């Protein structure tokens, strides 16, 4: 389950996640109460509240209550009592907190499904999975090495048992994976650090920098899926033919028959899939030979179907940045994790509907979104604030308007994108994990600040209620490393007819 009782929390990291989840529960109820113009009761702890904490997963026995109070603090503990009592009296409030509630999640997971199945390796925050889910698939296993990514994945994918989201280095945990029967697709994007300088004639699978790619191939051999979708950076083009060879060399036994894989690759840009961002990615598709023969298909024919769903009408950055509360940059350090009316909050009421323009309707799947997550502005120094003010859309670090205050002018020959003000009427430049470092390459086109994690997530096509867990800077990392869900959805849709 997503929550473990406080008495089972042993490490500092687990304690931090535990406290974050308690605060998340409280904040969700507070926002609901505010939005509905209701009021929280002021109550004392009682048996109903204690029982509900067991159902949520915050405690296992009454003996845990003192430790719970000590861990979250006096004020948060009092709020937790009041919020729990309120949630027990309001059915709609129960829906608001179901993703953070063990018993509610268990009900969702008990539902049987005959949807096509995917295993998501190097799953990150879950963008690739989300696209497949929106196309009518179900995830049966996910793995990532980063604990914060796994926490984000668990929260946003309540239909999957948390025990099936395995945190750990694939090199250590691959042998421990319990193999679901008849996996339809293995998806993922293994980090491949060696590709930028790889020799075309050097065998990639033997490059020590690319061991994770090797283990992805091993996972394909273990799961024997009908299809494989592997996403990676453009730099992997240098070794694309070797990767194809590695897929072609896989041999698996399916119902007593030895079969292999037929693979191909294509460079795709997310802006052609309705994402408000120009983001080139190399997409490999491999088909198990018996499936390819049965349906008379090849990866090339799948790519042709994908291409038929592409659009020439690009969504501009402006559409992703509309209908969200304007914010100011904090001018004092250390406030990025502090909620504030002017600079934003990790969880806030959505003043709009979530369907206010075509792009938002698409990424939110036509749903009304009551809350907005991770919309918090980043600290700006006095110098950076002046730079943000002076630059116009499309300007970078070499612009004459900031020459007198530019702190990195001696590096402009190789570092001109250190500062860049985004252009509103074009698809956004690529969102990257580097945003966690300073975000200066993505200055808001209209407001005097850089983009927030929520705005970056919108640009990536995540829905507004997709919560990124963990510390503020790690939210940028999770968003930047993700596969845009809209792009993943259309790839998944092209494959789905062959999984009947």
Q: Which of the residues 149, 150, 192, 439 is marked catalytic? A: 192
Q: What is the dihedral of CA 344, 349, 350, 352, to 10 degrees?
A: -110
| Sequence-distant (≥ 6) Cβ neighbours of residue 45 within 8 angstroms | 65, 81
Within 10 A of 301 (CB to CB), how many other CB atoms are there? 16
Tokens of 276: 């408000």
Within 10 A of 437 (CB to CB), how many other CB atoms are there? 12
State how beta strands 344-349 and 185-188 pair.
unpaired
B/e letters for 255-284, b = 16+ CB within 10 Å, e = fewer, are eeeebbbbbbbbebbbbbbbbbbbbebbbb
State how beta strands 138-144 and 165-167 pair.
parallel
The label of the residue with tokens 């004092």 reads: 332
Tokens of 173: 């945990």
Q: Is position 414 annotated as part of the catalytic site?
A: no
d(C-alpha 323, C-alpha 179), whole Å: 44
Tokens of 30: 């507070």
**Active site residues per annotation:** 192
């Amino acid at each position: 389950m997503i929550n473990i009782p406080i008495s089972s929390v042993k490490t500092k990291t687990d304690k931090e996640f535990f406290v974050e989840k308690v605060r998340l529960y409280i904040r969700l109820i507070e926002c609901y109460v505010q939005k509905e113009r209701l009021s929280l009761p002021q109550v004392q702890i009682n048996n109903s509240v204690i029982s509900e904490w067991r159902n949520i997963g915050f405690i296992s026995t009454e003996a845990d209550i003192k430790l719970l109070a000590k861990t979250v603090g006096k004020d948060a503990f009092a709020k937790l009592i009041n919020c729990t009592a309120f949630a027990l009296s309001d059915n709609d409030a129960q829906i608001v907190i179901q993703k953070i509630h063990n018993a509610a999640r268990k009900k969702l997971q008990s539902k049987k499904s005959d949807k096509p199945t995917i295993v998501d390796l190097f799953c990150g925050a879950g963008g690739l999975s989300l696209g497949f889910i929106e196309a009518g698939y179900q995830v049966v296993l996910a793995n990532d090495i980063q604990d914060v990514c796994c926490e984000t994945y668990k929260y946003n994918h309540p239909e999957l048992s948390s025990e099936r989201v395995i945190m750990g280095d694939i090199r250590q945990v691959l042998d421990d994976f319990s193999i679901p029967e008849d996996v339809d697709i293995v998806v993922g994007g293994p980090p491949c650090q060696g590709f930028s300088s790889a020799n075309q004639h050097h065998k990639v699978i033997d490059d020590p920098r690319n061991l994770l790619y090797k283990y992805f191939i091993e996972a394909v051999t273990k799961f024997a899926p009908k299809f494989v979708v592997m996403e990676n950076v453009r730099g992997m083009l240098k070794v694309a033919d070797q990767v194809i060879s590695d897929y072609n060399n896989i041999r698996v036994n399916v119902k007593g028959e030895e079969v292999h894989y037929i693979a191909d690759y294509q460079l795709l840009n997310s802006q052609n899939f309705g994402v408000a961002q120009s983001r080139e990615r190399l997409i490999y598709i491999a088909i198990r030979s018996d499936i390819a023969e049965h349906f008379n298909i090849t990866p090339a024919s799948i790519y042709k179907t994908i291409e038929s769903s592409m659009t020439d009408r690009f969504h501009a950055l402006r559409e992703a940045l509309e209908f969200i509360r304007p914010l100011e940059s904090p001018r004092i350090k250390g406030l990025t994790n502090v909620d504030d009316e002017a600079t934003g909050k990790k969880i806030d009421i959505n003043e709009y509907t979530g369907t206010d323009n075509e792009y938002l309707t698409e990424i939110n799947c036509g749903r009304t979104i009551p809350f907005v997550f991770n919309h918090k502005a980043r600290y700006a120094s006095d110098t950076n604030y002046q730079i943000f003010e002076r630059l116009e859309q499309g300007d970078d670090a070499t612009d004459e308007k900031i020459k007198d205050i530019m702190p990195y002018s001696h590096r402009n020959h190789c570092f001109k994108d250190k500062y860049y003000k985004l252009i509103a009427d074009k698809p956004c430049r690529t969102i990257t994990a580097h945003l966690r470092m300073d975000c200066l390459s993505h200055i808001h086109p209209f407001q005097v600040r850089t983009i927030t994690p929520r705005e970056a997530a919108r640009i990536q096509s995540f829905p507004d209620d997709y919560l990124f867990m963990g510390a503020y800077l790690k939210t940028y990392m999770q968003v930047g490393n993700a596969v845009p869900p809209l792009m993943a959805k259309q790839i998944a849709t092209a494959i789905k007819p062959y999984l009947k």
